[in-house]
Structure 1
Amino acid sequence: MSQDTSQVKVTRIVGGVGCGKTQELIERVCSLLSNGEKAESVLALCATPQACESFTLRLGAAAKVADVNADGVTVTTPRALALEVLSDAEAVRWSGREPRLLTAYEELFLLEDMKTCGLRPKRLREMLKFFYRSWTELADADPNWLLAGEEANVHALLKANLAFTRSIAEPEAGNLAVNYLRGHAGARSTHSFAHVLVDDYQRISRASQLLADLVASETLTIAGDRAACVQVYDSYPYAAGLDEFMDAHEGAEDIELSACHACAAGAAGAAKLLADPAMQSIAFHTAEDAVAGQTTMLEATLPEDEFGAVARFVADAVAGGMSPADVTVATPNGVWSRNIVKALLAAKVPAQALADRQPVRGDIRDNERCVPARVLTALDLVADPDNAMAWRCWCGYGDWLANSSAMANLRKYAAEQDKDLVGSLRDMANGALAADEGDADRIVGAQRVGAAYEAGLALIESASGLEGTALLDKVAEAVTGEKGATAPGIVSALCLGEQDNSAAAMAERFRSRLLAPHIDAASAVLVVPYDQVAGLSPKALVIAGFVNGFIPCREYFDGAEMPLDKQEKEHAKDARRVYSMAGKASKQLVVSRFTTTSLETAGVMKLHIGRIRLQDGKRMCVIEPSNFTEQLA
């Protein structure tokens, strides 16, 4: 870290899962407020949007006990902080980008545009991962970080495509924000907070860690656990940052928490997992007041039986006096989440599920198979006719190569004329981009792109002034070409709100719900993917679908698909994932599994099959418990 932090008091808090690191941060915030610090001067950074919700609820409860007002404390993610920094007018001018991250369906268009470099798709994806990781680790600060030739050329193309659409890839956000603040002292003071606290430091990227350092002006406190380094929201979490933090801040206070406040079963499971050679050992012991008891094991025959068993267990716990909000169910995938929520609701227990991935997807090459994405893109255009990324997508839907060749030609034209994508499209529509008869490169796909652009302009005009459902239905009608068409349910769910359903508000709302998913589960059971337990503190945690195939994945058991060295890395990653869950429950840890399913279901769900037997004329598979069951049992 090159910035001057000599005037900032820094503290590192480390400890195993369940040792109270988050609670320590909350108590420090309350102490600051009790000593007269303004709530607006405090920033708390959490690893995920859902962890922010949990932190805010816990802080509110603690502030009430301490008789202080914490309403003005900013609780957010490093990603949101980076986008706020990049939303400055000067930052937009400096970067040439809008503070807008790519959604999953927009990333598909970027990938198609990158394929014009000529690399094989697998090689290209691996190279993109290298670039993305390097961005998060600020490796591009070294002018010689890329090899001359292919590597440098592909990276230049990636940056050119992002600049052409004025958009930002998620791994790039923190990198841009850090570099902007480092080069603009005024911006750094504008975005500074007197007191910055960071939870789950090992789960955020190095760029996010440096960003936290840059915005702290008086105190900086981080909390983390090396063994719990799991990717939950930021790409490429950086566990080494915990040690680099101490190296960069001479004289920093170092606090190690060793008393695990999880239930005895969870603490014991976490301790067993730490004994795994793949884990970095952290010394901790179970607190004396930890609730005694063993892990509750739920075993069902079929998956649908497991859903019911989990619902009955939770219903009994709620009937026994536990609040639904004190129960979290961790699931291996969206199928398990949806079915468990359905079973809980049938048992009269309120429940909400956090999505395991962005719900808007489909084949962008087939207009019939990506209607929700097309409707959202059209809404983006209505909200902002100068949205370059929306025009890129709109002009690419329905083509096998997403009209990537035409876009490459437009990008070259834009560079020659010092224009952006929108200006280039406008020139093309006005005939300024007409090619000579022999200039084949400039006319590949131009007719399709031109027609799409004209259709987009007509849509924008026809939807002008409309809001809410009327606007969404009008857009859906234009997209599908069907008179009286209505917007897909997923689009309405993402866009509509209780207030302000203008085009701009709905466009901002759907993007937030896609890119920063979280739910208000203050009075409901929270059903989340395994890794999203990070930052949560339930009294009872149910780990569902705990079988081989889900964790570890099916490929782990096939040496032909996953060589030994990759198996070792996969085992270490899964051990960290299970460890991160094990010590979360303060009162009760429950592990749930099923033992049998049909061969068809096992194939679709990518389960590891123990053996196959014929049952009532149907081929059924025996599904083994997860390799990590013994540690938790």
Structure 2
Amino acid sequence: MIEEISACDERLVKVSGAAGTGKTAALIARAARLINDGADPSTILMVASTTFGAQALRERLRAALGEDNAPAANEVAITTALNAAVAVLGTPAACEATDRKPRLLAGFEYNFFIEDMKTTGQSRRQLKNVMDLFDRHWCSYDTSEDWLIPGEQTVAWQRAQEVLGALGAMLPNEAPYLAARFLQENPEGRAQCGFEVVLADDFQNLSHAQQTLVCLLANRQVMVAGNSNETATCASPLPHPDGFTQFENLRNGVTCFQLETAFNNVKATAFADALAVAGADSQALTAQKRDGSATDITLVKWNMAEDEFNSLTKYLRALIADREIEESQMCVVVPNKRWARTMQQALGKRGIKTSADGAFPGLVGDPRDAARSQALIAFTKLNLLANPEDVVAWRAWCGYGHQLTHSDTWGRLLEYARQQGIPVLEALPAVAQAVAGGTEPFMKAKLIAERYNQGREFIEKNSRRKGFGLTRAAGLDGLREFKGTLDTLAGDEDAATVYAVLRDKEMNPTFTEGAHILRISSYENMVGCNYQYVVITGCVDGLMPARDAFEVVSTDEDRKRVMDAERRLFAGAVAKARDELMLSTFSRAQLELAEKTKMQVTRVRSDGDDRIALLRPTTFIAEARNAAPSTIGGQMLLSKYDLA
């Protein structure tokens, strides 16, 4: 059937199937068939849920094209729906039509936006509720703003437009909405931005706006693949699974294919299907046949959490040497950022190179506390050197180290710029000049003038620096957040080049490529990927599923919502094992560690001076019943390689 799909030239095509049945493989086969038949690779768009999924698509397309034709894979547009929206909005026609620039706010930059929104008098909780409302309507592709209720919502909406307009920036959930509206309302722009063929993987994960955008970008054919039971919140905070399940009902002439044979490890896909059924009242789509590796799947049980890091990594080192497995074909799945860092350190001590870039949010810190935002300040300094006209960078620069990030003063600057009829970039030097002349255009204008002058002085002093001199001047050296990227520099890059690399890592993280680099992934970033050997760590209640699934103070509905979402993520990771799957759990942990990482503690015991938390293996093991993996003790596992 995959061969039949690859040859299908119908305008609208839907491919569905259970986990591991080759939905992604079908899209790759279609792209490879088009290229081998002479299609221009640049006329093909492939959409993934995450940047890691996009990276995997390109790697697999190269392999499918063969050695001679593999370079054509680099010409295919393989990206996320969000980045496709940014590309559309960056065209001259879209910039003119929307009067906006697709300069997306990074996570830490969004915090400044929220502080500036507080000048409306609303609390952070109120603003969160309002912004969640805006996101919901953007993601749902509500093309009218009639849903705005006069009062707090209208005030917040107007303020958001003012702040974003002054920054020359855009919110991530806003971009697909604006891009889809532009394409729908501008036929000429749609013709310029479109692709002959659009192939969208895991279509159910996209928001309604993203799905609309993807379809509007297709001139000749759109092929979507997915399964609503595999819906994950990774491409959008509000995925739209109905957009996939109802795809053929909402459109005429849709050709549908349903894949029925699972090709990955047969026990892993059976395990994933059992979990899907457990969460969908037996209505989940499951594989009818299995034709993959029959290797056993294993649940290894350690005594303490520390054993998972120390002993499991020792075993993996021996396994790699014994099997001669390429480390890039092995993925360790972790439940949180702490697990990612600790596992990376433990594997590094074993001599195993790893990539955990983007496994969890990159640049974090509190901009209100300069001591806790060193990485943010260094990133902003580099941003100023790379692009002194980036208002977002100036906004951040003017706000570090203050309890309210100087939001009131920045708001007065915006008002001053509006009154003078000039953009913020002109208002900044105008205020500095006025203060130097002895006048203060508005309250606390001296503060803005001081920060602006410091920024200009820094730019003038360091604008010509390159390479390591540049990174030292910006304060990047010695910071863990940038070490991996800085290690790849040649040493002669200018500020624009280094900043582009760091921003791309922040906004579009991918794994470091290399045959001997093991990958460490979050559950969300397993979507769209596939590995020979998958190890899922931290398989205890509280880590997976999250403790919110057990909180007695929550409603049954809230607990079920969390449990269902976590089950889909867990099942999705399980199904990504082509050959071997190992799950790792432990029965005890130091109470302090258990509380910090929100494990679900069943009892607490004293062990000398230590307090030990007793834990349960993830509830999903019991849910899978006969399809669950067999359990083996950690010491028995180590004995296979005389490591006990």
Report the TM-score when normalising by structure 2: 0.90
Q: Does 1:332 align with 2:331?
A: no
Match of 2:450 in 1: 451
Matching residue of 2:126: 123
Structure 1 295/286 Cα, relative in aligned 2: closer, same or farther at 3 Å? Answer: farther
Name the structure 2 match of 1:269. Answer: 271
SS at match of 1:536: coil
Q: Distance in 1 between matches of 2:100 and 2:303?
A: 53
Contact in 1 for aligned 2:601/2:613 (Cα 8 Å): yes
Q: Does 1:19 align with 2:12?
A: no
Q: Within 2, Cα distance between the matches of 1:308 and 1:436?
A: 64
The amino acid across from 1:341 in the alignment is Q
Aligned to 2:357: 354
Equivalent residue number for residue 616 of structure 2: 624
Match of 2:544? Answer: 551
Q: Which residue is equivalent to 1:401?
A: 404
1:209, 1:61 → 2: CA distance?
28
Matches within 5 A, 1:344-493: 344-431=347-434, 443-476=442-475, 488-491=479-482, 493=484
Tell me, in whole angstroms, the C-alpha distance in 2 between the residues paired with 1:492 and 1:317: 29
What is the CA–CA distance in structure 1 between the aligned matches of 2:459 and 2:296, rounded to whole Å?
61
366 and 274 in structure 1: CA distance in 2 versus 1, 3 angstrom threshold = closer
What residue identity is the alignment partner of 1:504? A
Whether the 8 Å contact between 1:267 and 1:286 is mirrored in structure 2 is no
The DSSP-based 3-state class of the residue aligned with 2:173 is helix
Task: Name the aligned partner's letter for residue 201 of structure 2.
Answer: D
2:232 corresponds in structure 1 to 230
Q: What secondary structure is seen at the aligned counterpart in 2 of 1:275?
A: helix
Q: 2:632: which partner in 1?
A: none
Tell me how far 1:559 sits from its aligned partner: 1.4
Q: Is the 8 A contact 1:547 1:625 kept in 2?
A: yes
* Counterpart position of 2:600: 608
Which residue does 1:581 correspond to in 2?
Answer: 573
Code of the residue aligned with 2:445 in structure 1: it is A
Of the structure 1 ranges 210-219 and 359-368, higher mean CA displacement relative to structure 2 is found in 359-368
Unaligned runs of at least 5 residues, structure 1: 1-6, 477-484
Unpaired runs of 5+ in structure 2? 1-8, 630-644
Aligned amino acid, residue 297 of structure 1: L
Residues 84-93 or 383-392, more deviating = 84-93
Cα separation, partners in 2 of 1:278 and 1:123, compared to 1, 3 Å: farther
Q: Which amino acid aligns with 1:271?
A: D
Are residues 226 and 436 of structure 1, via their aligned partners in 2, closer, same or farther at CA, if it must alter by over 3 Å? same
| Residue 542 of structure 1, aligned match among 535, 548, 551 | 535
The alpha-carbon distance between structure 1 residues 121 and 329, as it changes in their structure 2 partners (threshold 3 A), is same
Given the superposition, is the C-alpha separation of residues 65 and 512 from structure 1 closer, same or farther in structure 2, using an over 3 Å criterion? Answer: closer
1:135-193 deviation digits (Å, cap 9, x = unpaired):
12221x12312112211211121122111101111111111222222333332222211
SS at match of 1:245: coil
CA displacement at 1:413 relative to structure 2: 2.5
Q: Which of these residues, 491, 498, 502, is aligned with residue 494 of structure 2?
A: 502
In structure 2, C-alpha distance between the alignment counterparts of 1:407 and 1:354, rounded to whole Å: 34
Counterpart contact for 1:315–1:347, Cα < 8 Å: yes
Residues in 2 aligned to 1:382 and 1:279: alpha-carbon distance in whole angstroms = 56
Q: CA deviation at 1:285?
A: 2.5
Q: Higher mean Cα deviation, 84-93 or 595-604?
A: 84-93
- Note the C-alpha offset of 1:486: 5.2
SS at structure 2 position matched to 1:587:
strand
1:91 equivalenced with 2:94 (yes/no): yes
Match of 1:298 among 297, 300, 309: 300
Deviation per residue, 1:400-433 (Å, 9 max, x gap): 1111111222222323333222122222123299
Q: 1:91 to 1:273 in 2, by over 3 A?
A: same
- The equivalent residue for 1:4 is none
Equivalent pair of 1:203/1:239 in contact (CA under 8 Å): yes
> Helix, strand or coil: the match of 1:310?
helix
Residue 444 and residue 568 in structure 1: after superposition, are their counterparts in 2 closer, same or farther (change >3 A)?
farther
Conserved in 2, the CA contact under 8 Å of 1:202 and 1:238? yes
Q: What is the one-letter code of the residue matched to 2:399?
A: G
Q: Is the 8 A contact 1:467 1:502 kept in 2?
A: yes
Query: Which whole-Å deviations, capped at 9, do the CAs of 1:452-497 have from their partners, x for residues lacking one?
Result: 1111111111112111221222233xxxxxxxx9563534544663
Q: CA deviation at 1:531?
A: 1.7
In the alignment, is residue 75 of structure 1 matched against residue 66 of structure 2? no
Q: Deviations over 1:17-75 (max 9, x none)?
A: 11100111111112212322122221111111111121111111111189675442221
